[in-house]
């Protein structure tokens, strides 16, 4: 099984890989040769899948002709097997040795593996994480100082593999962010990096009313974040004062003193603002003209228990309407008006999420109320979700990141292994200390950035990975020249990020949509995926189908095997019948990066990821550990409850 045979076909020799061996009995009806054993009378059959051809001594994939009937079949000679696995001249990485020829190394074409994505699948304990590390080690066999690898580590396994004291750590420039979410560990993701779709997904805004109101509110907040919201606060104060004055119109027991106080305050505010330089100076000047004309005519006095008269209300009402029109125009001049074109909804410009909740969203609702007085009711649930988001401490590493210099640029530099502080000892980058501490051991080699997501709550995880993936993809798309700095993105337990399941409304999850786009388009922009999953049937079929190389370890579930059969070339499908019986550290490799489908024993790796099976019996037999159990529990709980206490 898995050995190679050759069959002459014209000027060439067809190469096949043995996928089945059969022995069938034969009954001699004439009763001759009674002394022959049953084995002597048996028929021996081989079943093979054609994988390529030899033109002279050079192996090439594909067929140009077929062998004739009764053509002799021979086992491939050692030099022929060597030529099958011989690198085709480009850069190659050694994945391991042939399962049927231990002396024969198996190499994969590095550019084809990275350029067409790769999936490593297998049941738990079959060796997936070690194979991921073996692929990285194969890449490290080359001198790649400008290499960039980002690992989404959902189980906290890879930090020890890239420890500065390990051989791998000395050959790379590793950075580990996490596992506790927050700026102090480097595992943070500013909320203002989110684009329009991510805002709508995070807050579950409905399309009818909530989505447009939220979009414009965020745009308003970005305008303020890019400059100052002082002027907008003053405009809001005008609106609040006018609402108070209008509230006195129906007060039959008093109101004159309240209206007087509000009008006096409005005049003071407007007089001060007209002396300032601002984008809406013309509107402030017009409001001053309206007040200077209307207030003396209304002749409102500071008298308690005196209601406004009908003539006073008749002057004040149109005056307030005129002022409100100027305020609306002023909001437009600031980029916040209902009829004005808003800034780019996707621009990663800083804004405070708390201010969005307390000011910009309520202000936008009030502006839109002029067109539909039911807006507030429609948006009430959205406001509640935003308030809950801010109150949920699990999201603090997203929602409560302080404004700092060049946030997007410094974040991308950290992901790509460059210094996010620019060498500035006074840098305000939130994780500057984390970077400085780990970078002291860096010498040369590719950057490896490990995002330890093991403590990120499950319902937060999808938003985090979707945003990270989208940022990296947008960076790759915008880079000129194209693919100037290619990146390998490793996704451990990829079925958690790219699920095949659909939402109840039939749409794919936000995270799956991002990584499906990367799988389909990332190659040309220099963004490659390396997926690892123990349940390929739970992965998005779109992503699996885009993986040009599949390294399959033991898989026992029929649904997982079926997905791979549909996602791999026809010539490889017969090999997949062996998946349930593969030994640990053995795998079947198919795809564009290998000349032929091959059964391989994956190379040994030093300092493997922390994914070993626990030794139950040995641990249970250690009576000395029992005394330390209470202290162990106290230590875990103290760390666990630290999140709730804010320690």
CB 209 within 8 A of CB 380: no
Residues 182 and 203 in one domain: no
Q: Identify whether 536 is part of a domain.
A: yes
pLDDT surpasses 50 at 289: yes
pLDDT band at residue 530, thresholds of 50, 70 and 90? Answer: very high
Q: Per the domain annotation, does 637 fall within a domain?
A: no
What HEC string does 68-106 produce? CCCCCCEECCHHHHHHHHCCCCCCEEEEEEECCCCCCEE
313 and 453 belong to one structural domain:
no
Distance, CA of 317 to CA of 564 (rounded, Å): 72
Q: Give me the residue label for tokens 């048996």.
A: 42
Q: Which of 376, 397, 418 is the last residue of a domain?
A: 397
Half-sphere exposure of 78 (CA within 13 A, CB side): 4
Residues 156 and 304 in one domain: no
Q: What is the pTM of this model?
A: 0.79
Confidence of residue 646 (pLDDT cuts 50, 70, 90): very low
Tell me if 484 is assigned to some domain.
yes
User: How many Cα neighbours within 13 Å face the side chain of 124?
Assistant: 6
Query: For residue 575, with 0-12 CB atoms within 10 Å meaning exposed, 13-18 middle and 19 or more buried, which class applies?
Result: buried
pLDDT at 570: 55
Nearest to 187 by CA among 199, 179, 197, 195: 179
State which residues form the domain around 306.
196-397
| pLDDT digit string, tens, across residues 79-138 | 888 888 776 667 999 999 988 878 888 899 999 999 999 999 998 888 899 999 999 999
Q: Is the pLDDT of residue 45 over 90?
A: no
Same domain membership, residue 259 and residue 129: no
Out of 397, 417, 441, pick the residue that ends a domain.
397
| Same domain, residue pair 59 and 28 | yes
Using the 3D structure, point to which of 363, 397, 431 is the last residue of a domain.
Answer: 397
Choose the weakest-confidence range: 211-220, 382-391, 564-573: 564-573
Q: What angle do CA 139, 144, 146 make, to 5 degrees?
A: 125
Which range of 225-229, 335-339, 456-460 scores highest in mean pLDDT? It is 456-460
Let me know whether 428 and 306 are in one domain.
Answer: no
In terms of domains, do 303 and 324 share one?
yes
* Mean pLDDT score across all residues of the chain: 87
In a domain, 91, yes or no: no
**Locate tokens 């069959």: which residue?**
7
Phi/psi for 261 (5° steps) reads: -65, -40
Structure tokens at 392: 């949920």
Burial class from Cβ neighbours inside 10 Å (0-12, 13-18, 19+) for residue 571 reads buried
User: Is 470 in the same domain as 601?
Assistant: yes
- When pLDDT is averaged across residues 476-499 and rounded to a whole number, the result is 91
Q: Are residues 215 and 137 in the same domain?
A: no
Kindly report, residue by residue over 291-311, the tens digit of the pLDDT. Answer: 999 999 999 999 999 999 999
Residues 317 and 261 in one domain: yes
Question: Is the same domain home to 375 and 410?
Answer: no
Highest mean pLDDT out of 129-143, 205-219, 610-624: 129-143
Whether 589 maps to a domain, the answer reads yes
647 confidence band (pLDDT: 50, 70, 90): very low
Q: Which domain CATH number covers 461?
A: 3.40.50.300
pLDDT at 227 over 60: no
* Range name among 292-306, 396-410, 602-616 with the lowest pLDDT average: 602-616
Query: Both 117 and 162 in a single domain?
Result: yes
Would 640 be classed as within a structural domain? no
Task: Give the total residue count for the chain.
Answer: 647
Task: Give the total number of structural domains in the chain.
Answer: 3
Alpha helices, DSSP H, located in 302-431 = 310-333, 353-355, 361-368, 375-391, 396-399, 407-415
For residue 546, being part of any structural domain is answered with yes
Q: Is residue 597 part of a domain?
A: yes
Strands 148-153 and 487-492: parallel
Q: Considering just the CA atoms, what is the radius of gyration of the chain in Å?
A: 34
The token pair at 534 is 């123990």
């Amino acid at each position: 099984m898995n050995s190679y045979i050759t069959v002459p076909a014209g000027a060439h020799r067809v190469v096949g890989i043995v996928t089945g061996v059969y022995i069938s009995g034969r009954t001699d009806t004439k009763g001759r040769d009674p002394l022959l054993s049953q084995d002597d009378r048996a028929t021996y059959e081989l079943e093979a899948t054609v994988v390529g051809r030899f033109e002279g001594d050079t192996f090439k994939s594909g067929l140009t002709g077929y062998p004739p009937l009764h053509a002799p079949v021979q086992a491939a000679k050692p030099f022929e097997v060597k030529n099958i696995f011989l690198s085709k001249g480009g850069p190659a990485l050694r994945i391991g040795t042939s399962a049927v020829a231990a002396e024969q190394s198996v190499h994969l074409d590095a550019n084809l593996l990275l350029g067409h994505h790769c999936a490593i699948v297998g049941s738990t304990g079959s060796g997936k994480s070690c194979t991921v590390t073996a692929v990285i080690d194969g890449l490290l066999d080359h001198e790649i100082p400008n290499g960039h690898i980002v690992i989404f580590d959902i189980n906290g396994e890879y930090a020890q593999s890239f420890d500065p004291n390990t051989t791998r750590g000395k050959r790379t420039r590793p950075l580990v962010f996490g596992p506790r979410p927050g700026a102090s560990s480097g595992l943070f993701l500013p909320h203002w990096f989110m684009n329009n779709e991510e805002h709508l997904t995070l807050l579950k805004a409905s399309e009818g009313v909530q989505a447009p109101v939220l979009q414009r509110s965020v745009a308003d907040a970005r305008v303020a974040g890019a400059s100052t919201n002082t002027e907008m606060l003053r405009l809001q104060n005008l609106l609040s004062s006018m609402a108070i004055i209008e509230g006195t119109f129906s007060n039959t027991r008093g109101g004159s003193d309240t209206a007087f106080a509000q009008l006096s305050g409005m005049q003071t505010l407007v007089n001060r603002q007209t002396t300032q330089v601002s984008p809406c100076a013309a509107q402030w000047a017009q409001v001053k003209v309206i007040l200077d004309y209307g207030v003396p005519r209304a002749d409102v006095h500071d008298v308690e228990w005196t209601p406004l008269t009908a003539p006073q209300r008749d002057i004040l009402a149109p005056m307030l309407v005129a002022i409100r029109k100027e305020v609306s125009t002023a909001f437009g001049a600031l980029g916040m008006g209902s009829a004005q074109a808003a800034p780019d909804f996707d621009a990663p410009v800083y804004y405070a999420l708390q201010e969005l909740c307390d000011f910009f969203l309520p202000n936008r609702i009030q502006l839109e109320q002029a067109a539909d007085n039911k807006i507030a009711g429609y948006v009430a649930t959205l406001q509640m979700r935003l308030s809950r988001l801010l109150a949920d401490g699990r999201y603090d590493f997203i929602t409560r990141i302080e404004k700092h210099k060049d946030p997007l640029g410094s974040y991308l530099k950290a992901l790509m292994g460059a210094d996010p502080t620019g060498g500035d000892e006074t840098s305000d980058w939130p994780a500057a200390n984390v970077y400085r501490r780990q970078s002291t051991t860096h010498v040369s080699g590719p950057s490896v950035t490990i995002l330890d997501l093991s403590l990120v709550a499950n319902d937060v995880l999808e938003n985090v990975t979707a945003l990270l993936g989208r940022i990296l993809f947008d960076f790759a798309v915008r880079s000129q020249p194209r693919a100037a700095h290619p990146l390998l993105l490793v996704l451990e337990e990829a079925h958690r990020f790219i699920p095949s399941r659909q939402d109840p409304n039939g749409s794919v999850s936000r995270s799956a949509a991002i990584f499906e786009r990367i799988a389909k388009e990332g190659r040309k922009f220099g963004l490659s995926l390396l997926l690892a999953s123990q349940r390929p049937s739970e992965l998005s079929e779109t992503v699996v189908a885009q993986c040009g190389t599949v390294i399959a370890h033991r898989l026992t579930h029929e649904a997982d095997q079926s997905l791979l059969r549909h996602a791999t070339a026809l010539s490889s499908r017969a090999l997949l019948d062996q998946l349930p019986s593969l030994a640990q550290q053995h795998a079947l490799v198919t795809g564009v990066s290998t000349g032929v489908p091959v059964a391989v024993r994956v190379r040994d790796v030093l300092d493997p990821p922390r994914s070993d099976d626990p030794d139950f019996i040995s641990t249970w037999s250690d009576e000395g550990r029992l005394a330390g159990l209470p202290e162990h529990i106290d230590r875990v709980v103290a760390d666990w409850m630290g999140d709730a206490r804010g320690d």
